Every structure is written in C-alpha cells, then in structure tokens.
Chains A and B, each alone.
Chain A
Amino acid sequence: MTFRRHGLPAALALLAALPFTSEAIVTINDDLELEGFLQAQNILRTPRMDDAEFVMQRNTAQIEGKYYFLKDSTAFGRFNTGKLEEATFSFVGRGVYDSIYDARPSYHDAFPGNQSLPGEFEGKVREAYVDLILPPFSLRLGKQQVVWGETDNFRALDVINPLDLSWHWSWESWEDIRIPLWMARGVYDIGKIGKLEESFFELVYIPWDVRHNIISTDPRRPWAFTGVGLAENPNSVFVGSQLKNLDLNVIDGSPGRKLENGQAGFRFKAVWGDVDFSVNYFYGFSADARGVLQNQFTRLDPTTLHVAYKTKYPRSHVLGFTANYSEEKYTQAVFRLETTFTTGVPVTVAPGAPLSVDPEQDQFETARRSVIMLAADRPTWIKWLNPDRTIFLSSQIFWRRWLDISHSYRGIGGVFPAELNGVVQPGRFISTNEDRIDQDEVVMTFSASTSYGDAGLLQPRFVFAFDPRSTGAYNQLSVDYLLSSHVVLRFQQNLFWRITGHKPGPWQLGDIWGHSGGNSRHESVFTFIYQF
C-alpha cells in the first residue's frame, strides 16, 4: 500500500530530480546510444462539457537504444564480417503506471477482492530487433512494427501489426499502440530497372506471433468499447415476450501462436517518372473478431438463457496498391492513393437471417471488402494565421465498400435498459444490434498543423474526421509547447459529436463516444513529457 499511496508523488519527485540541463540523447560511446522519455498524461473527461472527472493518470517511462555493433564489415571492432557491412541492435522498452487507481478510490474499489486493476501496470520490451545490412539486401529480425500504405489513421494496408485499443482507443500515436510482432523483414534493393527507379522488393514473414487488436469491453474501464448504448454488460434477454436472465459465455477462439499460423506478405515499391508506387500483398489473420454462435451450447432453462459465442479471427488476403505524386507546378500538393482488396473480413449476422445469408445459423460470416483512399498534403501560406511558416494541410477521403453485403449484416450494437411492458427493469440490460451495415462507408479527414514562436516551439494541430453517412465526427485541438530540449507540455481536447440521427457508423467516431448516446467522452488531456 505504501507504493500505492505514494506512487504519484514519488514519480513526480523522480521527474523533478532529473538533470534538466543535460544533453538530449545519451551517448554511452560511439557505439551505443540511449534516448527515451518520461511522460505523465492526465485525462479529464468532460461529458457534455458541463462536468469533469479524472479518468486516467498514465505515467510512462520509455527507453530506446541502438547499439552499433558492426560497422564497416567489422564486428565488435575486431571480427571481419565480409559482405555483411553493418549491423545494429535496437530496442524499445516501456513501463507504465496508471495512478488513477490510487488517486480515485472509486476506481480502485470498482475492482473488489483480488481482481487486478487493468492497465495499472505495464512493463515490456516493445521492440527488439537486429538490422543486418548486406548490400543489396537488408534484414530486420525481431520484435518490430512494419507499416505499409499511404493512409493516416485508418487501416487498409497498415494491417500487419494489430492495435492495442484498450486504454485510449486509437487516440494515441499509433507508434505507441501498435502491437509489435516477432517477424523477419527482408528488403532486396533492385534500384533502376527499365523506367522504374528506386525499386525494391520487401518480404515480411511472421512465423508464429499471431496477435489481434486488443479491445476492452469492461465498462469499468474509461475507454471500454461498449457500443452505442450504456456502459453496462448485458445480463438479460427477451425470449419471445419473456425477459430472461442471460448467461453469456465467450470462448476465446484466437489462433494460437504456432508455426502453422504463420503470416507473410510482400511489397514491390518503385518510382515511375514522378510517381512513387507500390504493390502489396499480405496473407494473415483479421485483427478483429466476431462471435460465432455455438448452437450446441445454447440452452434455455426457466429463468436463464445460456448462450456461448466463440471469437473467430478469419484468415485474410489483403492485396493493395499505393501511389503518391508530388505536383509541384499547379497545385503544389502531394497526392496520395491507397487501394486494397481484402477477403476474410468477419461480420456479425443478425439472428434469424435467412439460410442463404447464414447457412450455419451461427450469426457469423466473412465478406470481401475494398478500399480506395485519396489524399492530398499541402504546405499552405495563410499569412494572417502565420506570417512566418506555412500551415501543413492534409486531407483524405477513405471509401470502403463491402463487396459482399446483406441486409442481415450488422455493425456496432449496444446495451440498453430492459423494458417490459413499457417499464424499465432496474438493473437489467439487454444487448441489441440494429446497426445495419451500409455497403459503402465513407470517412473524410482534415488536419492542419504549424508552429509559432521565434523558434517554432508552439505547435498547434487541428484534426477533424467526419462520417457523412452517420454524421458522426471527431475533433482534436492540441498544442505542444517545447519548453526546452527536454520538456514538452501538451494539451489536447478531444470532441466527439454528430449532426443528426442515431446511426453509429463504422468508424468509431461521433456517436459511439459522443453525447447522443448519453456517454459523452469529450476529454481534455494534459501531458508532461521529459525527453532525453
């Protein structure tokens, strides 16, 4: 209890004691460099902007290192390695302590008994890999992130590493929430062939490390995914007109971490004229699951319906093409394109769907989907806003189309109070899903960023994402102030809203976190970063 009680003050004292005047980056010698940061992130939830409560005090220590153990074909300064010219070892380690459970007794008490406090502590080696340079071949072996594609913050080709959405959904830098995987990534540099320049072939192989997106559905957690309704677990179900207890059993059906579940992909990238393009293919597992109804376990007794679902992460093929073009004369903009064709997308099927849609009547199917993303980046002079520096404007339209579609396919469900004969039944909640998937799903984003001050130390950013079909939207207003080479202060306001209607949309934007569901998650984020 001592640490619990004194954890935050101790952490702050540690921060205060650090040598703020020391050099950034720690060079042990010519071969080993260390850098990293300590970060205290406080999130204040401001539902409907008329109330506030602290929901997170996430204190993070991250250390990153690089060891240059092989240079100029000489390892450790003495061993000749022939054609192996360079090699380095890199690692990223992260420790997290969320002190909200100590700061707020109600949070702590929400997990009685011996229940562990989710997200309170984390300590792991996030990345650890060796880079080997054997021209024209390079190889990266180890736990790592691989990012493909041209899209920002929506996934089409960037599917190799799943995301940890459990603690702050996708509102963090994806570098910090991607789940690094053990894999091999080899790149063969081809160079110039015919009219193609800068070409290379890349192969990615993940032998056994199958992971998937991590989503919390525990409503006691501040960023649990609880659908469009209440932050509750369903405990009741209507059977006919009778309200029964629900005994829901979810069986983990995730593929095991074994060789037969290997994943692999390749990319060919080149520049043709002024167009930079790539052709990509990845054979893996869907990062998201849907439940497969286990009919054999479904049982109804006088008071309770016993139901079991097994999560399923289907095998998936992703074929993609990307391109970008820097148009320097007329628009002075960089245009980006990404398009994918994906199979094995899991989808929930409404109960009672016709056999033609759900032959197994297990409320689960897979579908094919395509994505086309078009984007433009432009550094733009708006001198009345910033006379010294351009404002970087970036916008994208992301259009996803279900190639297989049915009226029975369902999107995001929700938990609602159980009403019997028009009377709300206290403490009883049912799960429903009336969100019919649209064949065409669209989201548009816009961001603007620049810097102010003599040395550009004040760095504001504006982000806007909008789903024109559901009218759900997300706004981010943030500003970083680089107080010194070591200290960064950040303020960020996240707003979730919608214009009209009740459809949640597929992008987890406005309504699912916004005010119309009654669970507004508007939030103010205050972050202190000490970097070295």
Chain B
Amino acid sequence: MGIPRTAHFSPWNLLLTAVLLLGAVVAHAADDQGYQALRDWIAAGNPADDGLPAGQHLGAKDRGELEAYIPRTAWTYYFFDDMDMEIAAHGHYPPPDTWGKTVKPGYSLDERGVLKGFTGGGYPFPEVTADDPMVAQKVIWNMLWRPGQNDFDMPMVTWLRGEGGKLDRKMEYISVTANYAKGDECLVPGYEEVKSKRIMEFRSPRDMAGAKDMSVSFVDHDREDSGWLYMPAQRKPRRTLASERTSELMGMDMIREDLDGFGGKVHENNWTYLGTRNVVATINVADNPEFGGPNQWVPNKARWEIRKAHVLLIEPKSKDHPYSHRVVFIDAENFWTLWMFAFDKEDDQLLRMSQHFMKYTESYVNEKPQQAPYMTLDTDKNLGQKVLMHLGETDINAKKPHATMTHCYTNKRVFSSARARQYYSLRNMISGRR
C-alpha cells in the first residue's frame, strides 16, 4: 500500500501553487479598496488630460490606460469583460449667461468654514487656489451652490440590485425642485431665508406610492432643513427630522449625507484639499446610460471624458459617524460631483461609493435623451439653460455588497413666483395621491 498519488510532492505542484498564490495577491492588491490605496493612487501623479484617445471605445483590454483615470477604489466594479467606454474629447460646459451677475457681495466664511450671508446667483468662490487654507471648504460651497442643481422636474427610476444583478426592488418617483435664492432677488419675495424647496413623490411600488416629502433648505447653513412627509396610510403630513443624515434611505445604498457627494454640514467635518486630479467622468452622456458589469451596477456603453477634478478629503468629527474618510472628486469647471468614496470607520475599507451621470442642456439640440417610462416631458425646454443636468447615478455599498442605480429624466422647469408659492406649500402636503 503506497502513498496516494495526489499526495506526492512535486516541484511542479509547488511552482504552480506559488504562481496561483502570487496571482491572487496581485489581484487583491489591484482591487484594494482601502482608503490608503486611494490616497496612493491620487498621490501617484496626475495623468495627462489628453491621455485617452477621444472618439474611441475602450474596453477591458485597455485597462492599463484607464487605471490612471478611474479611481482605484472603483476598479473592482468598472473593469469587466464586455465593458465599453466611449471616450469623448474634453468638453467645455459654460454656466448660464447671467451666472455670477446677481451675486450680492458681503458674504464670508466664518472660522468653521461655514458660508455666511451668501444668497446665490453664482459661485460663492469663482476662483479657488490650492494655497488657500479654506480651499476645500470653498470648493464644497461652490458645489452646493452650483448652477443647475434646482429648477426641474425630475422623474426617476431606481433599481436596487444585489450581486449577479439580482433585482431586489424597483422604484419610481418624481422630484420637483425650485431655487429660491437667486442672488439679489428671491423667487418668492418674503422667503429670502429659503435656499430651495423640493417635493418628491413616490409612484411605485404601491407600498410606497403616494408617499410625498417636502423639504425646505435655508441659506443659513446652520439652520437645519424643514421637512414634512405625507404617508397615504396616515392621510396627513408628518414632520421629519433633518439632522439625522447617516441612516440608509428607503433601503437604498446611500445615506442622506451622500447626496451629491456631500450633503452634510460643513462644520461637522474636517477638510483637506488633496489637489486636482484628472479622472474620467460621465459628464455629458448621450442618454441615460445602461448598466453593465457582472452585477449591472455601473454604467456601460456610456460616454466619458477626462475631467479635471478637485479632490477633497472630508473627515467627520463625530465619533459615531460610520465613515472614517470621504474622498470626493468635484469637477473643476462646473463643480458637479463626479465620484465619491466613503470608507468604513471600522477598517478604513470602502463602505459606499457613488458616481454621477450628467448631461449638458445645450447638447439636447442633437441628442434627445430617453423619456421617463411613465410620463412625457418636453425636453426642448432645456435648450438655452446652459447647465448640467443630473441624469442619474450609481451608489454601491461595498460591504453588503449591493447597489442602487438611478436614472433621472430631468427637465428644466422655471417656476413663477406665484406658482412656487402655491406648489411648495404645506397646503399641498395635506393630501396626496390617496
């Protein structure tokens, strides 16, 4: 009775095992989703802003070129066998002609980095310089007051998917927002303290249909938003709390503070400016992108371009906050958030990330995006607005793992003062779909 053949020691087996182990280590390192790996990737040097061939489609075989432009933390999701990234030439997306002309002077940052006295109409800090000790806060203020973030009807469809693309839930809802603070004037005279108002209503599935939320945000950053939630089962609005921003929203893979990359309070965080970095972004997609990859979590067959982005490191001061670090990439020309990565306080590994898809209104001349599956909008209204519009995003929870993908069918809407006063009122919240 001899030793079983499979137990024979062989130098070839040893070599094969070593190669396999090495491969696993290399793959693991490549997909490192830790905070330090992202910092290393940022510090590795800024790739050229023309380093990818415009007009061509790049795929998995081009990963070597793309790795310099896709934040390392996202590689796991954005590189896959049949990936198709159309690379467009670097675009220029100027703001509305009146942008910056109605800004009321006299505003400032206080010692906490909180913007005081600003009422919109333009960027609060059109020029930002890396040597400014408050540059990170100034970039985020520009993001929070960017053009195009309000004044639209936005029907949306959201898919919540697990691994393998398993669809857990699909939701339809509509958000309608209006910008009140327009610089030297307010949309509705008498409401000068209001920054913007939003009403969002769920349409499906039926267990959420008719749920309606009205949110009022204020120009004073220290003042929490006011909110009311109408639930059809209760047939009355209920006051909501705004200061809890770290719980997942409606089963989605995001928290309120993740909205637009950063939706929290500036003074509740420490800020560090990490410089600028060229990254690829879906800054002006042709249409709401389809989702691809093994999990259908990320945009595929979409149009990308290289964008110069401000990179901000945001560290929550609260010991109870789920994030240790948040790194946000904000477009240097128009201050829209392109990528956001948030790391788990427990282990500094990726907890959540998001990536956004935008479309410039003037491209609607040649490219009409798809209509919402449940309503028809006149997208011709978008022409001439000269703003980027949000066409969706993907939000991934790396720890579950699970993702939420959203298509927004955004259409500009100009509210009259009278209409805004009527629409965004508590009166409109006391009854709903049923």
Contacts and interface: CB of A to CB of B under 8 A. Distances in A.
Interface of A: 23-25, 27, 30, 35-37, 64, 66, 90, 92, 127, 131, 133, 135-136, 138, 140, 145-149, 152, 173-175, 178, 187, 189, 191-192, 197-198, 200, 202, 269, 271, 274, 276, 324-326, 328-329, 332-334, 336, 377-379, 381, 388-390, 451, 453-457, 480, 482, 484-486, 488, 531-532
Chain B binding surface, main DSSP class: loop
Given A175-B233, A198-B425, A455 B402 contact: yes
B235 A147 contact: yes
B428 to A, nearest CB: 8
Nearest to A532: B206
A285 B399 CA distance: 57
B425 A485 contact: no
Contacts of B36: none
B142 to A, nearest CB: 26
B170 A24 contact: yes
A200 B427 contact: yes
B427 A187 contact: yes
A269 B169 contact: no
B425 A455 contact: no
Contacts of B430: 187, 202, 269
Interface string B422-434: 1001110011011
B224 A326 contact: yes
B205 A24 contact: yes
Contact of A451 (B226, B228, B251): B251
Interface residues of B, number: 55
B97 to A, nearest CB: 28
19 contacts: A24-B205, A25-B172, A25-B205, A35-B204, A127-B434, A133-B422, A135-B422, A145-B235, A147-B234, A148-B236, A276-B228, A326-B224, A326-B239, A328-B224, A379-B247, A451-B251, A453-B251, A457-B251, A482-B207
B368 interface: no
A227 B101 CA distance: 74
B248 A456 contact: yes
Contacts of B160: 454-455
Nearest to B189: A192
A42 B227 CA distance: 38
Given A175-B233, A202-B430, A332 B243 contact: yes
Nearest to A24: B204
Contact of A35 (B206, B226, B421): B206
A333 B421 contact: no
B6 interface: no
Interface in B43-63: none
B240 A326 contact: yes
A324 B402 CA distance: 37
B207 A531 contact: yes
Given A189-B421, A328-B241, A175 B235 contact: yes
Q: Which of B376, B397, B433 has most A Cβ within 10 Å?
A: B433
B247 A389 contact: yes
Nearest to B237: A276
Given A146-B235, A198-B425, A457-B251, 11 more contacts: A135-B419, A135-B422, A136-B421, A191-B425, A197-B191, A200-B426, A326-B227, A329-B243, A334-B239, A336-B239, A485-B205
A140 B431 contact: yes
B134 interface: no
B190 interface: yes
A175 B234 CA distance: 7
A147 B231 CA distance: 12
A35 B251 contact: no
A421 to B, nearest CB: 55
Given A25-B204, A328-B243, A271 B320 contact: no
B250 interface: yes
Contacts of B250: 456
Interchain residue pairs A-B with the least CB separation, the first 10: A456-B251, A24-B204, A455-B168, A531-B206, A328-B243, A390-B247, A454-B402, A147-B235, A200-B427, A455-B160
Contacts of A37: 206
Contact of A173 (B168, B203, B227, B233): B233
B264 interface: no
